A and B are shown apart, each in its own frame.
Chain A
């Protein structure tokens, strides 16, 4: 065990060109946690993930396992173990499924990467069935699985997921989050998830932050979230509350039980 949190962000500001999107963001993620980042569109959630991978201009103190990331490039951060599944998945559409995964494992020894292929084919059987198919010919859900598997091929210490549910049918999204939940419990993988389908994301979360107009909230425990009617209304969405009350309740039930699970563990 290290004394440092896996990721520590202090006084981070970031933006594009002369536009500042994030101001004074403070964030902390401990190893093994699943942290969910909630917030309305345009609040800067994607920018925050990009600042963590070094793909946008950012100032502030970023520390990964205690070491500053200030001088580390995007590919260098990946080699340190920060994997990012970007919005829109970033699939190499003209490469086969297997080639996509091998690109994901590019920085690792060939033998290890090959061994991991089988592991993730096992975990996502669809990918195994389609290993020689061009990635671009797969459905959105399959491509999202591929994007996650590609990121996992890096053997990341921290997995950043940007709206994995975007463009997916609800049933596919649910299957995806089941898999992510399994990953968290079986491998203790640390994740930071940006998600609009908040009820699903909170189902696997140990903590959450909210981001509004580029400003981040204090960390919220599952209990905080459960207690805050207001927060639920804003971030779980009025539509969910009304139209999908069933799902929301189910999501919350799952998450409550998982938080019980972690407290008894």
Chain B
């Protein structure tokens, strides 16, 4: 039982990261109708910024904040300069552009930073909290608290502010939003910016769990986040978070109890979840089924 609980706790840490990145993917999909494959790589680049800043002596929390601000600006700029030129209905072009960005960001990291792992200071204290015989690392508690704060912040932003109303309106009906005079372009840029800042946070959380920073760091995270976004429903923020946590736990339990699965082959869990979702419930657990009313 204790082992089971320990695996549950371990899974929640990863789950919080999957949830954060899945939330970023959902945010972009909702506003632009595009699935951003490069979301994780953008977060990885932002984590390099955190590393570079802390390397020259900037306090880690300040470095994270700076990386989020830069990511926001970068995400908004990317939307403005590139994404706005693509028609999200043109799936082939969208996939090509997103794959291109994914490759580009990975290559940039390799060129500038090489493939050596770097240690990024964690914003959380070392050690863990003992609950009976289950050890809950402070990093796990930290990751869950960050996720909770992000969810609360996004909920307040989207539900109770004028900016949030604008974002929701653009997400639902871009044409009507423009006809109502909403600054559609700026709102789309803000959506991409918020997602990029969230991706940066996900990258930092990965390194705070003790992983080394390297260009391919976010790959497994992206696969799980995509699976979480699919399972939760691509248009549901709540779904992304719930499914992200679920997948983290599922991964941890699968690795723990299914002996043939190593950490690498546990990616199969994500693939199976995605395939099953697409086959059984394409709109996801929390997603809305699209009904066209004529």
Q: Is the CB of B180 closer than 8 A to any CB of chain A?
A: yes
**For the complex, what is the distance from the CA of A154 to the CA of B176, rounded to whole Å?**
13
Number of interface residues of B (CB under 8 A): 18
Q: Is the CB of B169 closer than 8 A to any CB of chain A?
A: yes
Q: Is the CB of A79 closer than 8 A to any CB of chain B?
A: yes
**For the complex, what is the distance from the CA of A99 to the CA of B162, rounded to whole Å?**
10
> Can you name the residue of chain A whose Cβ is closest to the Cβ of B183?
A75
Q: Is the CB of A123 closer than 8 A to any CB of chain B?
A: no
Distance in angstroms from A153 CB to nearest chain B CB is 8
**For the complex, what is the distance from the CA of A55 to the CA of B179, rounded to whole Å?**
9
Distance in angstroms from B218 CB to nearest chain A CB is 32
Q: Is the CB of B156 closer than 8 A to any CB of chain A?
A: no
Q: Across the interface, do B169 and A95 meet the contact criterion of CB distance under 8 Å?
A: yes
Of the candidate stretches A5-13, A31-39, A86-94, A203-211, the one touching chain B is A86-94
Distance in angstroms from A98 CB to nearest chain B CB is 10
Q: Across the interface, do B179 and A84 meet the contact criterion of CB distance under 8 Å?
A: yes
Q: Select which of A55, A94, A110, A150 is within 8 A of B180 by beta carbon.
A: A150
> Can you name the residue of chain B whose Cβ is closest to the Cβ of A107?
B181
Q: Select which of A78, A92, A102 is within 8 A of B178 by beta carbon.
A: A78
Q: CB-CB contacts of B180-203 with A at 8 A, as 1s and 0s?
A: 111110000000000000000000
Most-contacted residue by chain A among B165, B169, B180, B288 (CB, 10 A): B180
B residues 154-170 in Cβ contact with A at 8 Å: 162, 165-166, 168-169
Q: Across the interface, do B169 and A103 meet the contact criterion of CB distance under 8 Å?
A: yes
What residues of A have a CB within 8 angstroms of the CB of B165 in the complex?
Answer: 95, 99, 102-103, 106
Q: Across the interface, do A106 and B181 meet the contact criterion of CB distance under 8 Å?
A: yes
What residues of B have a CB within 8 angstroms of the CB of A86 in the complex?
Answer: 175-176, 179
**For the complex, what is the distance from the CA of A53 to the CA of B181, rounded to whole Å?**
11
Q: Is the CB of B265 closer than 8 A to any CB of chain A?
A: no
The 12 listed contacts between A and B (C-beta, < 8 Å) are: A74-B179, A75-B181, A78-B179, A78-B181, A83-B180, A86-B176, A86-B179, A90-B176, A92-B168, A102-B162, A103-B165, A106-B165
